[in-house]
Amino acid sequence: MFKPAGTVPIGIFDSGVGGLSVWKEAIKILPGHNFIYFADSAYSPYGPRSEEEIVERSAKITEFFISQGVGMVIIACNTATSAAIAPLRERFAIPFIGMEPAVKPAAALTKSGVIGVLATKGTLSGRLYNRTLNLFASDVKVVEVVGTGLVPLVESGKTSGKEVEDLLEKYISPMVDMGADYIVLGCTHYPFLRDAIQKIAGESVTLLDPAPAVARHMYKVAKENKLIDPIGRDNILGVNLYKSCYMDTQFFSSGSTAILERMARKVIPEIPDSCFKSKRLT
């Protein structure tokens, strides 16, 4: 596919396939752009890992991205953002954008005064999240729940069915029982469970996923850093050729690519096998 001069690839990584929920929004905004997606599946889940380990993995992935010509990184993982965005910014001279649970809009929009936050232990105990809570959610009741076991379910390709619903019931029902009318999906894997979560929470509860806002922010930062074609051909190409833009993302996994292929093809079914590669990064 024709690539206008001046477009620089954008790297997106996560502990596994969860960051595809961010990639999906990113390609809506820059459909003709080159993306490189890295799933650190051999080290998933990040949630129970130490901050040091997550920083080390994130730095290795960033080095790989830079070797591929990447000019900006989206940390499409709340847990890795919390642990690693500051050290990555110190160490590498390219822009990083990260995830943050959508607590601010939830706190602003709630009518019941109760919001639920479903995230990993690493995210909920992190400085970033707790700073956001203090700044924006001090007036509302926040029901925090650690989604233990959900990331491995998504990583094994299970996004619906009894096993998923039984586990979600344990996590979501207490939030609803306590009156939550907004539930923040604080992990990029959870949008894949959206239907099951909505079924348990009921239609009156709104689920908030920060991915669309992160994708808009990506566009702004990419433009400021001159990573996209100055006359906007990234967009024009994408509008015209949306169906074939899968050619512009290369997918890597530190483990097997099987689930990555399956989940990415839920977004764009035609992605060819040649776009998926294993890359151990030890």
Q: Of 106, 175, 187, 205, which is the active-site residue?
A: 187
Q: Nearer Cβ to ligand DGL, position 35 or 233? A: 35
Report how far residue 136's alpha carbon sits from residue 197's, in angstroms, rounded to the nearest whole number: 25
Does residue number 45 form part of the binding site for ligand DGL (CB under 6 A)?
Answer: yes
What's the CA gap between 267 and 270, in Å, rounded? 9
Question: Which residue among the candidates 30, 61, 75, 77 is catalytic per the annotation?
Answer: 77
The DSSP bridge partners found for residue 183 are: 116, 207
Whether the bond into 45 is cis, omega within 30 of 0:
yes
Q: With binding defined as CB under 6 A, does residue 255 bind ligand DGL? A: no
Q: Which of positions 89-108 make contact with ligand DGL (CB under 6 A)?
A: 99
Q: Is 46 in the site for ligand DGL (CB under 6 A)?
A: yes
Q: How far is the CB of 13 from ligand DGL (least distance, A)?
A: 10
* CB within 8 Å of 119: residues ≥ 6 apart: 78, 101, 129, 144, 146, 147, 184, 186, 187
| Residue 18 found at the interface with ligand DGL (CB under 6 A) | yes
Q: Could you tell me the smallest distance in angstroms from the CB atom of residue 190 to ligand DGL?
A: 8
Q: At what angle do helices 20-29 and 258-267 cross, to 10 degrees?
A: 40
Q: Select the residue interacting with ligand DGL from 31, 47, 71, 238 (CB under 6 A).
A: 47
Which residue in the block uniquely carries the two structure tokens 């990419």?
A: 222
Q: Is 281 left (phi over 0), alpha (psi -120 to 50) or beta?
A: left
Residue 187 contacts ligand DGL per CB under 6 A: yes
Active site includes 77?
A: yes
Q: Is 187 a catalytic residue?
A: yes
- SS3 (DSSP) at 232: coil
The residues in 145-184 that bind ligand DGL, with binding defined as CB under 6 A, are: 151
Active site residues: 77, 187
Give the residues lining the site for ligand DGL (CB under 6 A): 14-15, 18, 44-47, 77-79, 99, 120, 123, 151, 187-189
